[in-house]
Structure 1
Amino acid sequence: MEKLLIHAWVVHKQNGKYFLPYTHWIYLQQIVKYYSHICLISPVKKIADGGDDKLFSLEEFTNLSVYELPNSNYSYAGAIKHIGSYYNAYKRLHKHFDKVYVRYPVPFGWLSKLFFKDADRTIHFVGYPLEVTKLNPELSTFKKNLLLFLFRPEHSLYVWACKGAKVFTNGHHIKENLCKQGVNATAVISSTLVESDFYFDEYKQIDTANVKLLHIGYLRKWKNIDVIIKAFKLLLADKPGATLTIVGEGECKEQLKSLAVQLQIADKVDFKPHASRRDELTGYLRTHDIFCFSSISEGSPRVILEAMANGINVLSSRVGSLPFIFTHKVDIAFADNNEQDFYNKLIKITADAGLMASIRANAFDKAQQFTIAAFIRTIFNQVPVAEEQPVYEI
């Protein structure tokens, strides 16, 4: 079996032991099956004694090692001063590994081409910071241009590194952006779904007069969550018994809370902390009626698949890979990214119980095609297992 070097994630460390958040840990659980040895080249963040139930231990992966890099607190700007550490890591490790997998936009992943040259390299674009920066409404034109100017050299080096590598993107629009830059990429649908994640209550009765709306995710500006809150305000005029639950943390949380107060609906909007455990996440999804998603920039949002796998209706902006995979009023409901259209769509779908039942059933069936096992095999070019459904390529 081959040996794989992964440059992808920040690793947490406590008392000499390493940990990852569930989303990354579950990927690793699949990847380790295919290689004799895997090394994570990762910034390491030390955590205080007492443990963290949001993190999962790497101890069970006996064929895994970690090459520690300095922690830069998830900041590209903070990583620049450590570029020598990244260079030395690649220089030291490249002779001992057959393949390398890099997740853009981790800092300096383009070094993989410098040392692995024409060896088996994979670059996986899981986001696109240039687009996020351009669309961020909180940034002034000057600050946007400055940030874009400072990041473009890094991005250009990644584009250079794509030559001779297998390139994957989370979402079709990232693939299209790279195509314009001369990069041939395959768009895939990112998934963390395992068998135990799937649940469908075929007898679920939705009380549309008291409909329960839900949003789960990072509370960041480009997620546009204020659109959901404002649409909910409009909905309350028709359905005063409706509720909205917002689960997650982020820099916009206090601003969103203030918006709910300003709109005089704070008693109807329940803010919950980040759902760190899988049972918490599925608990929310299985006890609400409509999952609302209003982001303006995404690749292939995993949370949409997680919602569908748990049998909840989804109302979303047309973002990332979603319009290429799902069809309006068949397995999803799409809305323009403004509060008026979100409100209009909420009124329309809650007025038709048969439509809601059909959409969520179709979505559940579609979600079963997107398992983490199939996704990992696609990225790492492994032979498909017969009973697994393939990942869609778009």
Structure 2
Amino acid sequence: MPAGSHGMLCVLEHQTLAIVSAMHGSHHAGTTYVHLSFGRVIDRLAARAARTLLCIPIDFGPPPESRDYALTVRNIELVPQPFYTTTMAALPHLVPVCRGYARVCRRADRIFVRGMIPYVACLYALAARHGRRPCHWIVGNPLALLRTHRRAGLVKDAASYLYAWQDRIFTRIGRRLTGGALVCNGEELGSVYRSPRTHVTVSSTVTEDEFFERADTCQGPVVRVLFTGIIRPEKGLQYLIEALPRLTSRVPVELAVVGATDQFHGYAAELREFAERLGVADRVRWLGYRTYGPQMFAELRAADVLVLPTLSEGTPRVLVEARANSLPIIATRVGGIPTSVTDGHDGLLVPPKDPAALAAAIDRIITDGDLRRALIRNGLATARRLTVDRFVDTVVRVLEES
């Protein structure tokens, strides 16, 4: 039997694989577009299978900027769900969503599920009926996320909380019913979804040809601290801004903020006002959204330190991407981050909601050259073990156990 990627023997090459997700895509001029972070996983999994059924919400039209990755593997057949952008928005589409699940459960030999999906109980019931054992990739912890702050008012937050609870309950029941497997981003989720077939991993987007090596940073007249992520409350950006006036380093420090603000316009405005009140507005550069690739790489390679002050995460891809670009990193000790980052070895970890700790960690990296260079060197080594191909190898091993 021919070998798959990295020399793995792949039984999928004679089988049909179904990929199910609530991450929406677009289909235009004969091509399907999705977010790059998911698209690279889809293409690599599809390349291992004889046929691939892709069951996701689809908008038939030109793709938006954030969904511009064109799937390249030609064995992918769309099993489109009605278009929706959140699982809550999918609730009115019970019949067509479950009809799509029925089609893939009937036709596929193996099923891979990404993240929270609507009517997850229906998927698992259909999988059990057809003797399928799904491999379910648990990406994040929405319950922990909802606990970090009030998002949309008491009623909507309560509804979201209940929805996330039922998803967790039915996913665990469904795994037991089908004998399926769970691939969890980080030890925290692995503990929540503990089972005989739970696998803990760190997901990634980066490929081996995207690494950028340098021995050191913080050598210019200004130290550039980088934050990248969607600008929303749970990312904890306010605490990083609050850390700026606490810095004691003699070298000037500026904060570059990369990320879309369209989901939380009001919050972005509040952050700008907050920076004004603290007297650091002139040290914060708001750069907007950058697509993954040359745009994002340019920001990573122009920076000296990456800081992720998040309040809740799985295993953030940006921490792998930053280390692959020779950046020392600082992150909060939440969620699955300690699975991805070893404190003092390939990054620094601090408590969440702690501007003083963030400032101390930034000062430490700026002033301690030996530590900084060790973090860069060890971070590169860690990132080489956490490429998207390594992640897909893990998924394939789990699928072939099913």
TM over 0.5, shorter chain: yes
Alignment of 1:15-34 (within 5 A): 15-34=29-48
Question: Partner of 2:199 in structure 1?
Answer: 186
Measure the CA separation in 1 of the matches of 2:162 and 2:337. 30
Match of 2:282 among 242, 250, 267: 267
**TM-fit CA distance, 1:44:** 0.9
- Tell me whether 1:57 sits opposite 2:57 in the alignment: no
Residue 349 of structure 2 is aligned to residue 349 of structure 1: no
Q: Identify the match of residue 174 of structure 1 among 177, 182, 189.
A: 189
More displaced 10-residue stretch of structure 1: 10-19 or 218-227: 10-19
Rounded to whole Å, the distance in 2 between the matches of 1:153 and 1:350 is 46
Residue identity opposite 1:78 in structure 2: A
> Could you tell me which amino acid in structure 2 is paired with residue 223 of structure 1?
K
Instruction: Note closer, same or farther for the CA distance 1:161–1:352 as it changes in structure 2 (3 Å cut).
Output: same
Say if 1:248 and 1:273, in contact at 8 Å, map to a contact too: yes
1:305-343 superposed Cα distances (whole Å, 9 cap, x missing partner)? 100010011011112333234332221112222101111
Q: TM-score, normalised by structure 2?
A: 0.87
1:185 alignment partner AA: T
Matching residue's letter, 1:313: P
1:127 and 2:140 correspond: yes
Larger CA deviation: 163-172 vs 38-47: 38-47
SS at match of 1:381: helix
Q: Which residue of 1 aligns with 2:397?
A: 381
TM-score by length of 1: 0.89
Counterpart check, 1:83 vs 2:76: no
Q: Which residue of 2 aligns with 1:112?
A: 123
Root-mean-square deviation (CA), in Å? 2.4
2:78 to 66, 69, 74: 66
Inter-partner Cα distance in structure 2 for 1:321 and 1:144: 23
Once the two structures are superposed, what CA deviation does each residue of 1:235-273 show, in whole Å capped at 9, x if it has no partner?
2x6446211100001313222222222222222111112
SS of equivalent to 2:375? helix
Task: Give unmatched runs, 5+ long, in structure 1.
Answer: 385-394
Q: 2:25 aligns with which of 11, 35, 52?
A: 11
How far off its partner does 1:188 sit?
A: 0.6
The secondary structure found in structure 2 opposite 1:200 is: coil
Of the three residues 103, 107, 128, the one matched with 2:114 is 103
Shift of 1:279: 0.9
Aligned to 1:41: 55
Deviation at 1:382, TM superposition (A): 7.4
Contact 2:26 2:62 in 1 (8 A): no
| Residue equivalent to 1:199 | 212
Contact 1:377 1:383 in 2 (8 A): no
Question: How has the CA–CA distance of structure 1 residues 359 and 52 changed in structure 2, closer, same or farther, with 3 Å as cutoff?
Answer: closer
* 1:41 Cα offset (Å): 0.7
Distance 1:321 1:231, change over 3 A: same
Matched, 1:94 2:96: no
The 1:194/1:65 distance shift into structure 2, 3 A limit, reads same
Count of residue pairs brought into register by the alignment: 377
Instruction: Report SS of the residue matched to 2:77.
Output: strand
Query: In the alignment, is the contact (CA less than 8 A) between 2:224 and 2:253 conserved in 1?
Result: yes
